[in-house]
Amino acid sequence: MKNIFKIAFRNLLRYKRRTLLTSLLIILGVVMVVVFSGISKSFKEMMIGTITDSMLGHMQIHKKGYVSSIDNLPLHLNLNQNQIKKLTSILDENEKAIEAYTYRIKFGAMLSNYAQTTNIRLTAVNPEMENKASPALVERIINFSGNANAFINPGELIVPENLAKGLKLKIDQEVVLVANNKDGSVNGMSFTIAGIMTGLTGPSGRDGYIHLDDAKELLRIYGPEISEIAIRLKDGDNMKSVSSMLNQDLQVITNKEDKPVFELHTWDQLSPFSTIATMVDLLIYIVKIILISIVLISILNVMMMSVYERVSEIGTISAIGTLPSKILWLFVVEGFLLGLFSVVVGNIISVLSLYFINLAEFHFSFGRMKDILLTTSISAQELVTVSIIVIIISIVSSFQPAYKASKMEPVDALRHV
């Protein structure tokens, strides 16, 4: 085998320019895939991180049917004391996978600055629990400085930037919130603007925050009652397995009609960004298919030319007594070496390119998020995957010309001029 590699390597060097051009084409393809994957996956993970860390959490638990009518923010589908107790117990049992969870009441209200009135979506939270489950939430509060575990206190309201601009609201300004209770009656309370929050992907940027105790008072909720539990995992990559595990625990809790009481959704089922994330993955697949095509066509072309140019040589080595299988291997190994060299060089250039992109510190905007630093990274697994793809395709594309060479009749091949 060592000699087959030696001869295959020498044959590659025989047509240096052609080998170099083919190799450059494959290197370009590898760089394209790795750099694109590095940038797009980093972008995707950064955005997912922002969404999960500052808003949704990795997953949420609601009463069955809540998410399908989430646009109405229905109060009658809130979780009661007994249900909260059961869920808390399940979550505490899974503390190995779960880092934190937070209770939330979500409801719609009217916001008035005594001159103008508009509608607002409110999330009522316990600030300490919320900060543990959504640690990046406070980063969205403009000019926030203070104790992150007490980012909202009773009597305070954090308003979205859009509404603050529209109603010309300022910090410490007094406003009134009016909300419908579960029984249909209306209640109002005055609040002080404690912060202005940049939007993320919430509808029309109308999401504000108040303290959980204030929400209960405003909505006249007596006793523990919440709309949802948002969960933060220790490792977001385990989301599918943890959600499956939790779902198993939740499915056994049924109502009188033997139907599940709770529903669990992962962040990608709750956020429209999951479509963008899927598209990013799709684009990476498309770029990989382009790479496969480049490798397939270029190696097939170069190996077919090699076989055609070396017909007489194939006749000679065949006449001398070289077995057809060894002739096949001579050409397959040639394609393999071409692919291997290209992918190694391609990977080195790609990793260096990503390193220099990070050094250059490119900034970009995403929606209302400004000045995001592009931090690229590529996993060893991704590099190995690209390498395996290129090497396998190199071998596969060399196989047809190699097979043709091995099947040549020596007497015909020797006659070839």
Closest distance to another protein from the beta carbon of 334 (Å): 11
Position 318 contacts another protein (CB under 8 A):
yes
Token pair 């096949």 in the structure block, residue: 328
CB of 13 to another protein, least distance (A): 8
Neighbours of 180 (CB within 10 A): 15
- Span from 77-85, 89-97, 173-181, 307-315 in contact with another protein (CB under 8 A): 307-315
* Among 138-146, 310-318, 346-354, 360-368, the segment contacting another protein (CB under 8 A): 310-318
Binding mask 260-299 for another protein (x = CB under 8 A): ----------------------------------------
Among 88, 117, 316, 358, binds another protein (CB under 8 A): 316
Q: Is 7 in the site for another protein (CB under 8 A)?
A: yes
14 is a site residue for another protein (CB under 8 A): yes
DSSP code at position 156: E
- Contact indicator for 246, 264 with CB cutoff of 8 Å: yes
Kindly tell me the sign of the dihedral angle through the C-alpha atoms of 48, 53, 55, 57: positive
Rounded Cα gap, residues 58 and 136, in angstroms: 13
Cα 154 from Cα 192, distance rounded (Å): 10
Matching residue, tokens 């139907």: 259
Q: Which two tokens stand for residue 414?
A: 């020797």
Kindly state the smallest distance separating residue 319's Cβ from another protein, in Å: 5
Helix then strand then coil, % of the chain, to nearest 5 = 60, 20, 20
Q: Which is nearer to another protein, 225 or 313 (CB)?
A: 313
Q: Which one among 20, 286, 388, 411 touches another protein, defined by CB under 8 A?
A: 411
**Stretch of residues binding another protein (CB under 8 A), selected from 68-76, 179-187, 250-258, 308-316:** 308-316
* Dihedral angle sign, alpha carbons of residues 103, 108, 109, 113: positive
117, 180, 198, 322: which one contacts another protein (CB under 8 A)? 322
Q: How far is CA 43 from CA 236, 363, 401, in A?
A: 16, 11, 42
What does the binding site for another protein look like in residue numbers (CB under 8 A)? Answer: 3-4, 7, 10-11, 13-14, 312-313, 315-326, 409-411, 414
